[in-house]
């Protein structure tokens, strides 16, 4: 913790006498599952980050910037958080910094948490909103002053977001923190936030903005190189808005985006960009690794291991090459400790052990000939001789028996045991707790629902049986025959991959991106660059867009909402593929339609898009095979799609969506457009009237917009002739 501060001087200045105490709301629940299975047993804010609980970094920074009252909101494992704070120096120290916990077991989102805070009536003015997994050393004075000045001139300026430059990777479309890159549109003069998108569909290769953004702006800057630090300066109205709008659950996805598109209330959000200071949030395992390395390399100074800011009471010594050692470390002379490594108090390191770029906790025992690279070993871990750990995370009380190999990305939760000679495959997650079956949302609490079932998970013992064990040289026949006793298999459940499999695992892992994945990403990146239809002249190199720039002008449609809506419909359709009853699927899509204020035509278009994506899943080697796959999917889901095709406009929307898909996201369908259009007619999904109306609308269009009407010319001609013959017969 920070050193004791001197009392603030008294003053007769009226501004000083009326000064409002600077308050902060610290969310001690992440309302996410990215750190499972670890957070089933311990709250994320109490997980060690370079041997200090994450919440220590956040509290230490809040104290350093002059915050006087912190309200810590606890939900998941609330008793653990309260107990930790009650026994820490934060609640015992005298002075101007107070920490108060607020507990609720009903909140399932950040929005719910802020509604609880509002009901307590404790916020008296502008306050800092921050998560308990945030590390920063920035000065808040300038951002706070800007916020207050804006508030005096414009009461609708209710929030200031702290952002930082962070160049995304051209290959992974991610920041170095493992988050998807964010697209922001900012007024370069006022720094007002005009657009925010953290779920960018990069396959589109474009961003569509409402032209009304430029109605009263001389210019805007479009950025994909800004990192959201998740440090917000808020006015009390923010809490009121959450209370008035129960749809606001997620801070960015719902609240920020909601305010940006609300043209009735007129509330505004501004940004404050920091330059040389540090601010980042531990959001996933990759950001855990990145921020740990930043701490070791002292980008977060003074919040570093050898400065007593973090309440551990231990004097850590910084040696050459960034090696940090706590007292009472016992290290063999033949052990080699490489740069940017931490050895915790009372840890023992055996002969010929090699440790590099790693953090070792307190009370650990590391045997002989052990190799640890880029890993995080928490407290009281026992690693026997000959083990090899590469870019792994090992929680408290784990026991690795001799010869264990942890491949990159492995997560071993609390007190797991791994038997001798076992190789734990890359990205495996092992826990003493079985895997809950319900993991379909990133907005759940950190702990498992008591009513949730469990997935049948293989155990470490199963892994032992599946692997051929190479016994150490010199092992006796008696030992070999008594394997069940001598070579203990271990204890723990192996969790299956999350939805998306290893695709998400390697993207968000503490392990480096595998070489084969990098090569694929590299090929895709060059393919994108070489794509002939991309208009690289749309956006100026500066990123600043002027009112006359066609690149920012959409058709008035809220692209963000429609993109989110399509993703939600696709997720619902995927559940239909998994066997969910169609009636329930229709109910879900209808509720999404109401929630997003969409029409039946939007539902039809989004659903058709999902069906066409499903046709691409089975393998195919020719156009005929793809066409056969598509016909199969159309027949299978015809009745579901027709549920949303009640009018001619809705049928035309499906054709327009098909055009969009064939040009932008799935060009494989482009040469088959006419054939599939005919199939949709044959299966009575589309009517003759809808197809002819679409063709008629295209007659006055540009040549580039008539590609598919020309391709379908024979079919359209046949429909017209058939229609005329029918009219003659009727006459």
Q: Say what the alpha-carbon torsion angle 350, 356, 361, 366 is, to the nearest 10 degrees.
A: -20
pLDDT over 50 at 548, yes or no: no
Q: What is the mean pLDDT of residues 596-600?
A: 80
Element (H, E) at 423: strand 423-424
Reduce the DSSP state of residue 186 to 3 states and report it.
strand
pLDDT grade for 709, boundaries at 50, 70 and 90 = confident
State both tokens at 297. 């390399």
Sign of CA dihedral 301, 303, 305, 308: positive
pLDDT over 90 at 135, yes or no: yes
* Residue with token string 């063999």: 332
Q: What is the pLDDT of residue 457?
A: 55
More confident residue, 72 or 496: 72
Neighbouring residues of 632: CB distance < 8 A, sequence distance ≥ 6: 615
- Rounded-to-integer distance, Cα 11 and Cα 59, Å: 28
Q: What is the pLDDT of residue 202?
A: 58
pTM for the predicted model, two decimal places: 0.66
pLDDT grade for 17, boundaries at 50, 70 and 90 = very low
pLDDT over 60 at 680, yes or no: yes
Q: What is the mean pLDDT of residues 596-623?
A: 85
Could you tell me which residues are beta bridge partners of residue 228?
163
Q: What is the pLDDT of residue 249?
A: 73
pLDDT over 90 at 405, yes or no: yes
Q: What is the mean pLDDT of residues 695-719?
A: 82
8 Å CB contact between 157 and 266: no
For the chain, the residue count is 731
pLDDT grade for 590, boundaries at 50, 70 and 90 = confident
Q: What is the pLDDT of residue 272?
A: 92
Q: What is the pLDDT of residue 392?
A: 93
Output the average pLDDT for the chain: 78
pLDDT over 90 at 383, yes or no: yes
- Rounded-to-integer distance, Cα 426 and Cα 333, Å: 32
More confident residue, 471 or 42: 42
More confident residue, 214 or 384: 384
Element (H, E) at 677: helix 673-682
Cα–Cα distance list, 479 to 467, 471, 476, 562 (Å): 18, 10, 5, 65
Q: What is the pLDDT of residues 280-337, one digit of tens each?
A: 999 889 889 989 988 888 888 889 888 865 666 677 888 877 889 888 899 999 999 9
State both tokens at 32. 């996410």
Q: How far apart are the first and last CA of the chain?
A: 92
8 Å CB contact between 445 and 76: yes
More confident residue, 514 or 254: 254
pLDDT over 80 at 525, yes or no: no
Reduce the DSSP state of residue 661 to 3 states and report it.
helix
State both tokens at 475. 């092992």
Q: What is the pLDDT of residue 506?
A: 72
Q: What is the pLDDT of residues 84-106, one digit of tens each?
A: 888 888 877 777 788 888 888 87
Biggest CA-to-CA distance, the chain: 104
User: Among residues of the chain, what percentage have pLDDT more than 90?
Assistant: 20
More confident residue, 112 or 591: 112
Which residue, among 427, 416, 382, has the nearest Cα to 402 in the 3D structure? Answer: 382
pLDDT grade for 489, boundaries at 50, 70 and 90 = low
pLDDT over 60 at 452, yes or no: no
pLDDT over 70 at 6, yes or no: no
- Rounded-to-integer distance, Cα 248 and Cα 115, Å: 10
Which residue, among 654, 704, 696, 701, has the nearest Cα to 679 in the 3D structure? Answer: 654
Secondary structure (DSSP) of 113-156? HHHHHHHHT---S-EEEEETTEEE----HHHHHHHHHHHHH-TT
Q: What is the pLDDT of residue 461?
A: 56
State both tokens at 41. 């047993």
Q: What is the pLDDT of residue 200?
A: 66
Alpha helices in 543-647 (DSSP H): 559-577, 582-596, 600-616, 623-642
- Rounded-to-integer distance, Cα 547 and Cα 164, Å: 26
């Amino acid at each position: 913790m920070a050193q004791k501060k001197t009392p603030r001087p008294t003053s007769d200045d009226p501004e000083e006498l009326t000064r409002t105490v600077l308050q902060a709301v610290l969310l001690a629940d992440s309302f996410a599952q990215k750190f499972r299975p670890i957070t089933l047993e311990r709250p994320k804010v109490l997980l060690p980050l370079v041997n200090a609980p994450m919440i220590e970094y956040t509290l230490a920074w809040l104290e350093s910037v002059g915050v006087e009252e912190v309200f810590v909101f606890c939900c998941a494992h609330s008793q653990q958080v309260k107990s930790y704070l009650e026994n820490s120096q934060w609640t015992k120290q005298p002075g101007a910094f107070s920490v108060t916990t607020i507990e609720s077991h009903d909140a399932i989102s950040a929005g719910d948490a802020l509604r609880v805070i509002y009901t307590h009536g404790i916020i008296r003015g502008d306050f800092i909103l921050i998560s308990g997994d945030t590390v920063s050393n920035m000065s808040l004075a300038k951002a706070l002053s800007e916020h207050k000045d804006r508030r005096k001139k414009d009461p609708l300026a209710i929030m200031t977001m702290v952002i930082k430059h962070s160049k995304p990777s051209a290959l992974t479309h991610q920041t170095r923190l493992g988050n998807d890159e964010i697209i922001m549109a900012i007024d370069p003069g006022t720094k007002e936030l005009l657009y925010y998108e953290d779920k960018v569909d990069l396959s589109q290769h474009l961003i569509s903005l409402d032209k009304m953004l430029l109605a009263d702006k001389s210019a805007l800057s479009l950025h994909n190189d800004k990192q959201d630090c998740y440090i917000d300066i808020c006015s009390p109205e923010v809490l009121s808005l959450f209370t008035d709008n129960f749809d606001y659950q997620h801070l960015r996805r719902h609240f920020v985006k909601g305010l940006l598109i609300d043209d009735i209330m007129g509330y505004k959000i501004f940004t404050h960009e920091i330059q040389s200071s540090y601010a980042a949030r531990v959001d996933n395992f990759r950001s855990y690794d990145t921020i740990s390395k930043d701490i070791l390399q002292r980008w977060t100074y003074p919040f570093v291991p050898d400065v007593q800011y973090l309440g551990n009471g231990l004097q850590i010594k910084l040696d050459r090459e960034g090696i940090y050692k706590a007292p009472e470390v016992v290290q063999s002379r033949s052990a080699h400790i490489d740069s940017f490594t931490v050895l915790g108090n009372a840890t023992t390191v055996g002969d010929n052990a090699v440790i590099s770029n790693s953090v070792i906790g307190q009370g650990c025992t590391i045997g002989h000939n052990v190799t640890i690279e880029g890993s995080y070993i928490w407290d009281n871990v026992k690693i026997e001789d000959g083990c090899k750990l590469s870019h792994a995370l090992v929680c408290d009380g784990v026991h690795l028996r001799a010869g264990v190999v942890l491949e990159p990305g492995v997560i071993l939760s609390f007190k797991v045991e791994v038997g001798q000679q076992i190789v734990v495959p890359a990205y495996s997650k092992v826990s003493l707790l079985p895997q809950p079956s319900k993991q379909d949302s990133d907005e759940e609490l950190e702990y498992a629902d008591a009513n949730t079932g469990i997935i049948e998970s293989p155990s470490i013992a199963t892994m032992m049986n599946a692997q051929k064990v190479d016994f150490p040289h010199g092992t006796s026949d008696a030992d070999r025959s008594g394997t069940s006793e001598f070579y203990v298999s271990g204890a723990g459940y192996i969790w299956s991959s999350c939805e998306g499999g290893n695709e998400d695992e390697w993207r968000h892992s503490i392990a480096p991106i595998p070489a084969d994945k990098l090569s694929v990403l590299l090929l895709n990146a060059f393919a994108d660059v070489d794509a002939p239809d991309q208009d690289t002249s749309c956006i100026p190199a500066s990123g600043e867009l002027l009112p006359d720039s066609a690149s920012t002008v959409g058709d008035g449609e809220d692209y963000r909402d429609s993109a989110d809506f399509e993703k939600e419909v696709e997720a619902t359709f995927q559940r239909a593929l998994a066997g969910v009853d169609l009636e329930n699927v229709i109910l879900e899509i209808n509720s999404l339609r109401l929630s997003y204020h969409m029409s039946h035509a939007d539902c039809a278009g989004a659903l058709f898009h999902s069906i066409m994506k499903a046709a691409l899943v089975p393998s195919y080697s020719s156009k005929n095979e793809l066409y056969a796959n598509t016909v199969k999917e159309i027949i299978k889901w015809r009745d579901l799609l027709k549920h949303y095709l009640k009018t001619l406009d809705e049928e035309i929307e499906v054709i327009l969506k098909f055009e969009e898909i064939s040009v932008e996201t799935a060009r494989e369908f482009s040469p088959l457009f006419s054939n599939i259009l005919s199939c949709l007619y044959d299966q009575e999904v589309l009517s003759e009237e809808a197809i002819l109306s679409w063709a008629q609308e295209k007659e006055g269009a540009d040549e580039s917009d008539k590609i598919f009407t020309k391709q379908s010319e024979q079919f359209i001609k046949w429909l017209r002739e058939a229609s005329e013959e029918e009219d003659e017969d009727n006459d």
